[in-house]
Amino acid sequence: MNLDFHLILESIPKMLAGLGVTFQLLILASLLGLGLAIILLLMRISGRWYLSLPAFIYTYFFRGTPILVQIFVIYHGLPQFEFIRASVFWPILREPFGCATLALTLNSAAYVSEILRGGYLGVERGLHEAGMALGLTKRHRFFYVTTPIAIRLAIPAYSNDFISMLKATSLASTITLLDMTGVARTIVAQTFAPYEIFIATAIIYIVMTGILQRGFGLFEKRMSRYIMQ
Amino acid sequence: MVDLSGWWDDYFWGAMAVLRVFAVSLVLTVVFGLIGAAAKLSKSRIAHKIAGAYTIAFRGTPELLVLLIFYYGSAVTLTGIGKIFSSQTQFVDIPPFWAGSFAIAMIVGSYATETFRGAFLGVDPGHVEAARALGISNLQTFFYVRIPQMWRLALPSFGNHMLSLMKDTALISIIGLEEILFVAEMATAVTLKPFMMYMVVALIYLSITTVITLVVMALEKHANRHLEGAR
């Protein structure tokens, strides 16, 4: 096997353009997903069944089905309905980028809400009681006692999920979006040199994963600065 | 529902294809996971390095990309080899079923490596020493002392790996296996009802993952049955 390094060097600029799309998808979907996850979390822990049940069904559905299927339902499936084509969201849902963002957002919201719930449930009861004894209101307890601790507890799982999201963005290439994987696939289709291009792409992903892991590690360290070693 | 009536058998055979991929790759996942864990726990530095590179590479690369590398990579290599023997060779590939199952098992196996490694470390070393003191052979110690105790510890994470394995099977349609996503695509072309057709796929996956979750819960209960009184 002889690798064509010239081809790799030639395709790096194209891949970097794809990297931009990958990043846009990742940042947009994870921010929107985090927002939706917080809403879902509040529904889950509200203690009212008419709020917690829909949130449970939502997470159950999105965690139980492959992301690829969700992307296809949104991209191929939604235009079936007349009212969606007539709605104000159509300019977004017409584009593969909008569909991929929506699918990744909905998917990550389901996973992240479970992670946040794990963090929330991990907060010691005694701290709640201490807050109560100090006369903090329910809202103050939530924001100043529970939330900071829950965030620290949730970081390791969240960083894993963020990295899975990075990998999931590659599925956007199946709906014609030219993210990094999409670019790699078009180059391979032209040159038929799968080893060079795909492995070069994989290395870029692996490096990005490493950087993200390191970044979350530092963040976790900062959030744990009050913990006695 | 009328639109669906003609497609049930196609969906059924598609689901069967998915389950076949799942069964094959589950066995391979356990094999890769055990080999990886053995390498990580061994004293050999080379085995250590190789296992470390394996987990980093397969956990950091998107699943789709791994699948594409395995399928197209093997096709290019095999076609090249075929050309040596006969100049008429056009295109040789590994069937998508095997390329896909193998690729998925390599990915999930890299996660299972870490799980198994942790589970083996969780077995009380005193038990292994006790087995040695009783003169039980290494092989028997492995199967009668280590495995029964480690699988109890590995089950919760391994259950999650099984779920991601199941969901990763959807990717194989991209390299051309005729499974349920492929059926949905075909059905859409005829009925022009894409939402319903893809929703059926989602519901099939949802029911399979539900069954897996229930089975794992039952297995966990079975594995921990001797601890029930203690808790």
Could you tell me the domains of chain A? 5-223 (1.10.3720.10)
Average pLDDT over residues B119-133: 91
pLDDT computed for residue A216 by the predictor: 92
pLDDT computed for residue B206 by the predictor: 96
Count H helices, E strands: chain A?
A: 11, 0
Nearest-5° Cα angle at A133, A132 to A136: 45
pLDDT in tens, A160-215: 999 999 999 999 999 989 999 999 999 988 888 888 889 989 999 999 999 999 99
pLDDT over threshold 80, residue B230: no
Amino acid identity of residue B68, one-letter, is L
pLDDT computed for residue A229 by the predictor: 58
Q: B1 pLDDT band (50/70/90 cuts)?
A: low
Q: Residue A7 and residue A199: Cα distance in Å, rounded?
A: 12
pLDDT over threshold 70, residue B220: yes
pLDDT in tens, A73-99: 999 998 888 888 888 888 888 889 999
Q: Residue A67 and residue A169: Cα distance in Å, rounded?
A: 10
Interface test with A, best of B161, B162, B195, B208 (most A CBs within 10 A): B195
Q: Residue A58 and residue A94: Cα distance in Å, rounded?
A: 24
User: Which tokens sit at B120?
Assistant: 């083996």
Q: Residue A133 and residue A223: Cα distance in Å, rounded?
A: 25
pLDDT computed for residue A128 by the predictor: 85
Q: What is the mean pLDDT of chain A?
A: 90
User: Is B162 in the A-facing interface, judged by CB distances under 8 Å?
Assistant: no
Q: Which has more confidence, A8 or B74?
A: B74
Average pLDDT over residues A44-64: 93
Interface test with A, best of B11, B66, B72, B169 (most A CBs within 10 A): B72
Contact between B181 and A69 using a beta-carbon 8 Å cutoff: yes
- Tell me the nearest-neighbour CA distance from B88 into chain A, angstroms: 19
Task: Provide the whole-model pTM.
Answer: 0.90
Chain A residues whose C-beta sits inside 8 Å of any chain B C-beta:
1, 60-61, 64-70, 72-73, 76-81, 163, 166-171, 173-174, 181, 184-185, 188, 192-195, 198-199, 201-202, 205-206, 208-210
Average pLDDT over residues B67-80: 89
Interface test with B, best of A19, A25, A58, A72 (most B CBs within 10 A): A72
pLDDT in tens, B22-43: 999 999 999 999 999 999 998 8
- Give how far Cα B81 sits from Cα of B28, B72, B103, B230, Å: 26, 14, 21, 61
CA B3 to chain centre: 34
R_g (Cα) of chain A, nearest Å: 21
Q: Among candidates A205, A200, A208, which has minimal Cα distance to A184?
A: A200
Q: What is the ipTM of this complex?
A: 0.89
Contact between B64 and A171 using a beta-carbon 8 Å cutoff: yes
User: Which tokens sit at A192?
Assistant: 């038929």
pLDDT in tens, B142-195: 889 888 889 889 998 999 999 999 999 999 999 888 889 988 988 888 888 889
Q: Does domain B2-225 have CATH number 1.10.3720.10?
A: yes
